[in-house]
Amino acid sequence: MTNQKNDPHQPLARASFGDDFLWGCSTSAFQIEGAGSADARAVSIWDTFCATPGKIRDGSNGAVACDHYHRWPEDFDIGQSLGLNAYRFSIAWPRIVSGIGAAPNEAGLDFYERLVDGMLERGLQPWATLYHWDLPQYLQDQGGWARRDTVAAFVDYADVVTRRLGDRVRHWITHNEPWCTAMHGNLDGMHAPGLRDAPTALQVCHHVLLSHGLATPVIRANVADAQVGIALSLHPIRAASASEADRQALLRHDGFRNRWFLDPLYGRGYPQETLALLGEAAPVVLEGDMQAIAAPTDFVGLNYYFPEVVRDAPGAGFLRTEVVLPQERERTDFGWEVAPDGLTELLLRISHEYQPAEVYVTENGSSYDDVVQADGSVDDEARRSYLVRHLAALRAAQEQGVPVKGYFAWSLLDNFEWSEGYLRRFGIVHVDFETQARTVKSSGHWYREFLHGRNER
């Protein structure tokens, strides 16, 4: 096969992926819904984080975002016109439960019923994510994910949602990117709740994984023929040099960045060499926890964006590694390396080492500083090239036997990009955040032509 990294025009056709392949886009509730106080929605940790001066680069918040809460019919019409047959969304926990011991919020459940019905009416298979980082603030006030009580609260929330929507939604993702929930939220402070404490972050990580495992059988009990999985943010780890020190740094970094999640989910427990590095910061694990985390799943979701290049860095935290940014690499305007071959590498690794029944690319996308032309169009050639090359990389893994069954581009819409506010655009549809006008970008036009079988690259 031609090298996808060097050939942005690799021949590509939808039909080659198989008739049952899913083609979708991914979104998340806080990033697009807006309607921050509508219908008894409770405050989330991201509302609090956004209200804290200096936390969001442009000083913005998600109170309006893309106003998807009111404009979802238009957004789903766009998705249908593109030729999507699946749509990944998340459910906002604060819309469902407003306080400890509170009865489920019927207005919130009704909204997601309307949302799911709207997808089905347009031929979009709904893929629901139960947790995409928007923890209710009332739970954070009690200690958040660092407390075991939040695990039980999540399982109760999952029970409520899947009872209501399980007759129409078959595919369920428990958590999106536990790494970000734990590490960006509680170790480096980049995300809500903005803490910087290693023991807290590691306990949060364990409880998130535990809540996944405990919720999985509950979802199965509520949903006939349920398909349950989790979406992980994984990275190929590459050594900064050929030195033995950097090679060992690669192994240490991979043990925490990737294997810390994959190993326990597939019944191997936490990597012992990583636990040894953590020392007293290691999480408290109770009897039965690891068995619960390893509850059988139907698929694993891979969120892939870029590799991480690391070098040995004595004294740099418990891993003693440092991520470096080689200057000669192609990068997005966000500074993330463009490396389609990394997607092939990860898919092959997951398939060979963990043998999941199915793999889905649940997120993959790129942020560029789009320019709206005088005629209103958005010619995002760099994003189109990124999309083409990553689909070719996915196809390469499929040809080598990886059971990859679907691809969800991140994202359908430009949106609130967490701590970056509205400064970063990942959408294949441009959103004017002042007028809320939607404009399909050239990458979106390419995706439409590809999904309708009218192009071959």
Task: Give which of 238, 285, 279 is closest to 257, Cα–Cα.
Answer: 238
Q: What is each CA distance from 90 to 255, 385, 395, in whole angstroms?
A: 29, 28, 27
The CA distance from 296 to 293, in Å, is 9
> Which residue is associated with the tokens 């690669």?
250
| Packing angle, helices 68-82 and 106-121, rounded to 10 | 20
Cβ count within 10 A of residue 152:
12
321 neighbors 310 (Cβ within 8 angstroms): yes
The CA distance from 130 to 219, in Å, is 11
451 neighbors 388 (Cβ within 8 angstroms): no
In the chain, the amino acid numbered 186 is N
The CA distance from 233 to 418, in Å, is 16
> Which residue is associated with the tokens 């999106």?
176
Q: What is the DSSP letter of 102?
A: P
The CA distance from 173 to 362, in Å, is 10
Q: What is the DSSP letter of 144?
A: G
**Can you list the alpha helix ranges (DSSP code H) found in 190-317?**
198-222, 244-257, 259-265, 272-278, 289-293
Tokens of 106: 């019927």
The CA distance from 449 to 451, in Å, is 6
Burial of 193 by CB count in 10 Å (0-12 exposed, 13-18 middle, 19+ buried)?
Answer: buried
Q: Which residue in the list 33, 177, 337, 417 is annotated as catalytic?
A: 177
Q: Which residue in the list 33, 308, 363, 417 is annotated as catalytic?
A: 363
239: phi then psi, degrees, rounded to nearest 5 = -75, 140
The CA distance from 443 to 446, in Å, is 5
Task: Give which of 244, 264, 247 is closest to 256, Cα–Cα.
Answer: 264
204: phi then psi, degrees, rounded to nearest 5 = -60, -45
Q: What is the DSSP letter of 142?
A: T
Assess whether 121 carries a catalytic annotation: no
| Pairing state between β 308-312 and 321-324 | antiparallel
Assess whether 363 carries a catalytic annotation: yes
Active site members: 177, 363
